[in-house]
Amino acid sequence: MSDTDRELRVSKIRNGTVIDHLAAGQALNVLALLGIDGSGGEGVSVGMNVPSDKLAKKDIVKVEDRELSQSEVDVLSVISPEATINIVREYEVIEKKRIERPEYVEDVLSCPNRNCITNAEEPIRTRFMVLDDGLRCDYCGEIVREDEVPSRLDVS
Amino acid sequence: MRQDHLISATQLSRADIEAVLDRAAEIDADPSAWQGRHDGSILGLCFFEPSTRTRMSFDTAMKRLGGRTIDMGAVESSSVKKGETLADTMRVLEGYADALVLRHPSEGSAKMATEFVDVPLVNAGDGAGQHPTQTLLDLYTMRQNAGLDDVTVGIMGDLKYGRTVHSLASALTNFDIRQHFISPESLRLPRSVRYDLHESGAQVREHTGLGEVLGELDILYVTRIQRERFPDENEYLKVAGEYQISAEDLSAAKDSLTIMHPLPRVDEIASDVDETDHAKYFQQAHNGVPVRMALLDMLLSEEEAQ
């Protein structure tokens, strides 16, 4: 059985984005990253711990009528570097791309250092430099390890 | 120096540091030659938390260069009290001064401020983050007393929250220096500083007791163990005594050991150490003026050249 056949276990979408090959356990973090909690009425399918030839187990998130912003893709690259993004139109995958780790991610994470200036009421966005195994606040220098990233998602 | 601002010691190369220290030595050799060099220039002193030495040494440095200073005064009597953002305050003050010095309780504040001003800005301490001008005067003092290569330095005290330590540790990686960090477990260097040290390939060891390493040291840099940082007073009392030194404690040290401290001290260095040849902390404090004169001269000269 191919990955594609397995994906069919999660309902196909007509138009939107399929985020595939997510590290197992990251699907809910991806929903948090995208600000999806069900209240917006989006059509969302989620597969968790789906068998995968490449990853043994993986998560899949399918979102109807939604494309990811670059900053969302950037954070995705940190919490799940193996993920792929498939753009779907009329049930067909028209574009399939691997994500690349960016140099910086902006405005999607909050700094865990409560005394960082980004946590004050100042007119600035957060900005984190992407390290090999985490992120670093560009203002105060605080380091956030990869496994801490989901808890720092600032999707408010 | 090529930078318009001095925010962090991490931005300083060995060449940058040596340029400032060499200029400071020139100033030290003939201070009168520098009087009037920046006639008419104005330095804005923006201190959002209390400071004595840093504020006064910047004030003195600017005046000895012939310039003047303006001071936003105490936060309690400023527009900050009305809720003005730091960004707005700095945007206003840059219109009044040719350069700004900022001390602020939040980490990253100086970095943020540079995004809102065009005049040179110097970080005079941002929370537990960085204090790069203190580091420059520390290095100047080290160079005067022990040199900056093939030297063993011990840094002891509050390594977690001590911004002078964070800046110094970073700057020392530019030189052939073995660094020993001595602190209670709860006040070890923060992850970000350890990361930088590791990335730079610095020779670093950590200890919980000074006795493990005292005999090897050429320089001992002491900082205050900050009682208020401990959630439990008993935890503080357990460690406080181990990080205090007296003249008697130094019997195992090299005769040439240089002891430094960014000041103010409380009880971590007993007053009988002051009478020994080891004590250089007052010399260190005095060095703040020529070093800050050198730095301001370089930043303002660059500004005038534009």
Q: What are phi and psi of B72, to 5 degrees?
A: -70, -10
Å between B84 CA and nearest CA of chain A: 9
What confidence tier does A34 reach under pLDDT thresholds 50, 70, 90? confident
Q: Give chain A positions within 8 Å (CB) of B195.
A: 131, 136, 143
β-partners of residue B45 are B71, B101
CB contact under 8 A, B107 and A121: no
B82 Cβ under 8 Å from any chain A Cβ: no
CB contact under 8 A, B112 and A113: no
DSSP letter at A71 equals: H
Å between B160 CA and nearest CA of chain A: 12
What is this structure's pTM?
0.90
Å between A122 CA and nearest CA of chain B: 6
CB contact under 8 A, B106 and A117: yes
Nearest to B192 among A122, A124, A143 (CB): A143
CB contact under 8 A, B86 and A123: no
Q: Residue B142 region, left (φ>0) first, then alpha (ψ -120 to 50), else beta?
A: alpha
Reported as a single tens digit per residue, the pLDDT across A51-96 is 988 778 999 999 999 888 777 888 888 888 889 999 999 999 998 8
Reported as a single tens digit per residue, the pLDDT across B53-85 is 999 999 999 999 999 999 988 777 777 777 899
The residue of chain A with its CA nearest to that of B193 is A141
Measured distance CA(B240)–CA(B242) in Å, rounded:
6
CB contact under 8 A, A122 and B104: no
Reported as a single tens digit per residue, the pLDDT across A101-155 is 899 999 889 999 999 999 999 999 999 999 988 899 999 999 999 888 888 887 5
Measured distance CA(B93)–CA(B84) in Å, rounded:
13
The residue of chain B with its CA nearest to that of A131 is B195
* Predicted pLDDT at B203: 87
Which of B10, B11, B103, B111 to substitute to test the interface with A, most A CBs within 10 Å?
B111
Q: Give chain B positions within 8 Å (CB) of A144.
A: none
B186 Cβ under 8 Å from any chain A Cβ: no
The residue of chain B with its CA nearest to that of A113 is B107
DSSP string, B86-136: HHHHHHHHTTT-SEEEEEESSBTHHHHHHTT--S-EEEEEETTS--HHHHH
How, if at all, do strands B121-126 and B177-182 pair?
A: unpaired
Contact B173/B199 with Cβ under 8 angstroms? no
Contact B66/B36 with Cβ under 8 angstroms? yes
Q: Which residues of B are catalytic?
A: 53-54, 82, 103, 131
Q: What is the pLDDT along chain B (306 residues), one digit of tens a residue?
A: 445 899 999 999 999 999 999 999 999 999 999 999 999 999 999 999 989 999 999 999 999 999 999 998 877 777 777 789 999 999 999 999 999 999 999 999 999 999 999 999 999 999 999 999 999 999 999 999 999 999 999 999 999 999 999 999 999 999 999 999 999 998 999 999 999 999 999 989 999 999 999 999 999 999 999 888 788 888 888 888 889 999 999 999 999 999 999 999 999 999 999 999 999 999 999 999 999 999 999 999 976 666
